[in-house]
């Protein structure tokens, strides 16, 4: 995960074969070779690129799976999204990031996928460095605290009484809180959240603009068969 991809890129750059595609690793190796930043060494590049891979490969993949499940279970939502894309983009080109401000329904759909079934329903453990009192409860130093992401993103006070229903239109209303808790909380919130958000937007928009998503046969996905865990 760290060494082999790195070595492939480095060897391609060293050979001058032109096989080193532009990437995070090739960019940093270029900076290292130029001497612009002497703090960049091979181990740093390998570690950072490995963390980016690990931090996004499971989580983004799971969100994409739930996107397809939601589109299969809610064809009316899929059609509404496709109509917006057809109206804004037309039929002769693909969506781009420049189109995003003009695609409110697609943006709402992205938010609803994150809210409807959060990838990490109990979040990542946090450790108290000092004694604290929250809501009248004393929590001693060294306590592990698990945030209930599922509860936060299924709060009827915040998202309405239909929290278990997949409904992107809730995010078209004024004052509805974005599902930021899907990426964690506080200082330890996912540092790759902006990258993930951009990836999900362009993927969802491109797929919906190109394909109709339908079940294989007559069997629909059954959410009751999901297995709970750190990643769900």
**Tens-binned pLDDT, residue by residue, of the chain (232 aa):** 889 989 999 998 888 766 778 888 999 998 998 888 888 899 999 998 888 777 777 888 899 999 999 999 999 999 999 999 999 999 899 999 999 999 999 999 999 999 999 998 988 888 999 999 989 999 999 999 988 999 999 999 999 999 999 999 999 999 999 999 999 888 888 888 898 999 999 999 999 999 999 998 988 988 888 877 777 7
What does the alpha-carbon distance between residue 179 and residue 114 come to, in Å, rounded to a whole number? Answer: 7
Per DSSP bridges, beta strands 126-127 and 144-145 are antiparallel
What is the reported pLDDT for 17?
A: 60
Q: Enumerate the CATH 1.10.630.10 domain ranges in the chain, comma separated.
A: 58-225
What does the alpha-carbon distance between residue 127 and residue 143 come to, in Å, rounded to a whole number? Answer: 6
Q: 58-225 has which fold? A: Cytochrome p450 (1.10.630)
What does the alpha-carbon distance between residue 109 and residue 95 come to, in Å, rounded to a whole number? Answer: 15
190 is in an annotated binding site: yes
């Amino acid at each position: 995960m760290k060494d082999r991809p790195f070595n492939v890129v480095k060897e391609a750059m060293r050979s001058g074969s032109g096989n080193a595609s532009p990437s995070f690793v090739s960019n940093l190796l270029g900076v290292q070779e130029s001497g612009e930043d002497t703090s960049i060494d091979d181990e740093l590049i390998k570690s950072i690129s490995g963390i980016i891979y690990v931090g996004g490969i499971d989580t983004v993949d799971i969100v994409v799976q739930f996107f397809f499940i939601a589109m299969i279970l809610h064809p009316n939502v899929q059609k509404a999204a496709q109509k917006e894309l057809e109206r804004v983009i037309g039929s002769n080109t693909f969506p781009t990031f420049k189109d995003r401000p003009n695609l409110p329904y697609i943006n709402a759909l992205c938010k609803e996928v994150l809210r409807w079934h959060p990838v990490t329903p109990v979040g990542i453990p946090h450790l108290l460095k000092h004694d604290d009192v929250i809501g009248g409860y004393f929590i001693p130093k060294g306590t592990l605290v698990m945030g209930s992401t599922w509860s936060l993103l299924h709060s009827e006070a915040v998202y309405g009484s239909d929290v278990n229903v997949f409904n992107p239109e809730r995010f078209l209303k004024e004052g509805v809180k974005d599902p930021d808790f899907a990426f964690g909380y506080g200082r330890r919130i996912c540092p790759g959240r902006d990258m993930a958000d951009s990836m999900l937007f362009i993927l969802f928009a491109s797929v919906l603009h190109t394909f109709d998503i339908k079940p294989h046969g007559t069997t629909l996905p059954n959410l009751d068969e999901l297995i709970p865990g750190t990643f769900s």
